[in-house]
Amino acid sequence: MMRAQADSPMPFKIVVPARYASTRLPAKPLLDLGGKPMVVRVAERGLLSGAEEVWVATDHAEVLAAVKQHGLSALMTRTDHPTGTDRLAEVVEQRGWSDDTIIVNVQGDEPLIDPALIARTAQHLADSGADIATLGCPLGDAADFFNPNVVKLTCREDGDALYFSRAPIPYARDHFSGENGKFSLPAGLPAYRHVGLYAYRAHFLRAFAHLPPSPLERFEALEQLRALSNGFRISVMIVDHPPLPGVDTPEDAKRMQGAFSTAADGRGEA
């Protein structure tokens, strides 16, 4: 399995998909973090990565206006995209990017994303020759291993992904049927948590937009399985620790607002 390599400059672009509607957090991209909308904070982190261009792709005029008000680039995309990846595919067409362009998908609810990690993910895609690059980190907690909300992955010896699942994979049959049950993981189990930072080649995004969801994708509710089911390569870069958490719930929002408020009080950035 391939480990993270040292950074090296290479051209790439960033797209931040920012859907306005959210069941748990309405108008989530506009959440105020220290005087700026969250999606603006995310785009600013993207700019620090060395990307050639950073675009916010939204489906709502208020988000578009907020981003442009802060001097950043944004464009309007359709409201009916089922996934963020489909939204990226529309951006590729709108911008007319060539098939070999590398695009990093930075989620619009991760205002503390490490810019260096964005650059390393883009570089990993360039080095691997795959269609997609994503991240994994070691998973050592049994509770997380059996939690369906924690996505697990397994890899081939060359570092390409074999499978992603909400189920506990790989399943240590003898260990879990023994006295320890499901309260611990056996030493050496190659268990990895998937970290949802992606880099894509534009040719893949163009193809993805025309592929129907696969049965695996529908049952697991994991869109990356559409790519695997259709023979695309996903190379996994292993990092030691997951990135700092984003904003999914009202509780997350309060925590993040507190972090930026504290940073502002200290005259620094969160």
What are the start-end ranges of the H helices in the chain? 38-47, 61-69, 84-95, 115-128, 142-145, 173-176, 202-208, 215-220, 224-229, 250-265
Where residue 23 falls among pLDDT bands split at 50, 70, 90?
confident
Angle ∠(120,121,122) on CA atoms, nearest 5 = 90
The neighbour count for residue 71, using CB atoms within 10 Å, is 7
Where residue 75 falls among pLDDT bands split at 50, 70, 90?
very high
Instruction: Quote the pLDDT of residue 7.
Output: 46
- Bridge-based pairing state of the strands 32-33 and 36-37: antiparallel
Cβ neighbourhood burial of 86 (10 Å; 0-12, 13-18, 19+): middle
**What's the CA gap between 232 and 166, in Å, rounded?**
20
Where residue 1 falls among pLDDT bands split at 50, 70, 90?
very low
Q: pLDDT of 195-227, one tens digit each?
A: 999 999 999 999 998 999 999 999 999 999 999
User: Do residues 37 and 76 lie in contact, with contact meaning Cβ atoms separated by under 8 Å?
Assistant: no
- State the amino acid at position 201 in one-letter form: R
Instruction: Quote the pLDDT of residue 248.
Output: 87
Instruction: Quote the pLDDT of residue 167.
Output: 97
Instruction: Quote the pLDDT of residue 269.
Output: 57
CB burial string 117-146: b at 16+ within 10 A, e below: bbbbbbbbbbebebbbbbbbbebeebeebe
- State the amino acid at position 229 in one-letter form: S
Q: pLDDT of 250-262, one tens digit each?
A: 999 999 999 998 7
Category of 3 on φ-ψ map: left (φ > 0), alpha (ψ -120 to 50) or beta: beta
Q: Has residue 58 got a pLDDT over 70?
A: yes
Helix axes 38-47, 115-128, angle to 10 degrees: 60
